[in-house]
Amino acid sequence: MKVIVTKESIENKIYLISGHRVILDRDLARLYGVTTFNLNKAIKRNIERFPKDFMFQLTQKELKFLIFQIGISKEGRGGSRYMPYAFTQEGIAMLSSVLRSKRAIQVNIVIMRTFVRLKQMISLNRELLLKLELLEKKIEKHDEEIQTIFQAIKQLMSPPEKPRRKIGFY
């Protein structure tokens, strides 16, 4: 099968917005080989398939954040005239029931594999972080124990104090 898009090109289009990993409508339209207008028109014809946890429209604040972070064009400079839609993994999966071209099917498969791979990487990073924290705690405990051992050795190495003779009457 001929590769239409790569996982790496999709990873670059996944953004974290309001705690969700999403792909914007304009990026999806490019991947599917359709215009953003036609993509959104197909979605609006099937809007009942896209609840708010599948797709949401960006707020002005979220759009400004994207403009700042990744350089999306501002309105009047080639950018969109409306607030873009963001699609979660579930929303993208639902797109496969709306867009039925062969290209859309192949692109959806690659997108789903990319999301799964990202989740696996995040899970692996969490495991590594937990192991690192446990190791740090062990080292801290060992550091305290080693300090105690050094103090004991120093005490053993220093000559014992000779008892002083008492002066005066008893």
Contact partners, residue 79, CB within 8 Å, separation at least 6: 72, 73
What is the per-residue pLDDT for 80? 62
Tens digit of each residue's pLDDT (9 = 90 or more) over 9-66: 788 888 888 888 899 999 999 988 889 999 999 999 999 999 999 999 998 888 887 7
Residue 72 has pLDDT above 70, yes or no: no
* pTM > 0.75: no
Class of domain 7-125: alpha beta
Maximum mean pLDDT: which of 2-6, 26-30, 107-111, 112-116: 26-30
Long-range CB contacts for residues 1-10, cutoff 8 Å, separation at least 24: 1/106, 3/110, 4/103, 4/106, 4/107, 4/110, 5/31, 5/107, 5/110, 6/110, 7/110, 7/113, 7/114, 7/117, 10/110, 10/111, 10/114
Domain extents in the chain: 7-125
